Amino acid sequence: MIVATEKNILVNMNIKELFFDKSFLRFLLVGVINTIFGTTVMFVSYNVLHLGYWLSSALNYILGSILSFFLNKYYTFQNHSKTLRSAIYFTFNILVCYLIAYGVAKPFILWILSDSTQSEQENIAMILGMLLFVIINYTGQRVFVFKSIYKNEKDVT
């Protein structure tokens, strides 16, 4: 028997425990709301306002993150820790997830779709970036940002 602590919770959780519970379903619901909002912002910024790949995708996450923070803090993870601390962690998590997801997606799609137009490559890269971001972000929020939900767990076997 291993006692769960903040340091070993991720190591001792299996994939089923991490991704298939009520918080993950709530996270997906919040994600639908954010996806509709953020995707509209991103693709209108890129295709209508011609703001470019990085600015368009960044606007998606800057504006969507404000809504996401409050919905995930209080609804998804039911976290009641101090808002300033969790907001700082949340911001750091979003930044890291964004840089990893979109930093991996664009070069990968440019390599895979080298014969496509720049617009096609970047639109597809933004879609892949969104998918990568969801997986990385959920893990970061659950384990790092809003980890106080684990304090009531007694044992992890």
Residues of the chain falling short of pLDDT 50: 1-7, 9, 149-157
- Give 113-124 pLDDT, tens digit per residue: 999 999 999 999
pTM of the model: 0.69
Is the alpha carbon torsion for 143, 21, 86, 138 positive or negative? positive
Asked if the structure places residue 33 within a domain, the reply is yes
Task: Tell me the three-class secondary structure of 51-73, residue by residue.
Answer: CCHHHHHHHHHHHHHHHHHHHHH
Asked if the structure places residue 12 within a domain, the reply is no
Asked if the structure places residue 52 within a domain, the reply is yes
Residue 26's domain comprises: 19-156
Asked if the structure places residue 101 within a domain, the reply is yes
CA nearest 106: which of 68, 56, 63, 50?
56
Asked if the structure places residue 60 within a domain, the reply is yes
Is the alpha carbon torsion for 31, 33, 39, 41 positive or negative? negative
Rounded to whole angstroms, how far apart are CA atoms 63 and 84? 18
Identify the pLDDT of residue 147.
78
Query: In the chain, how many domains are there?
Result: 1
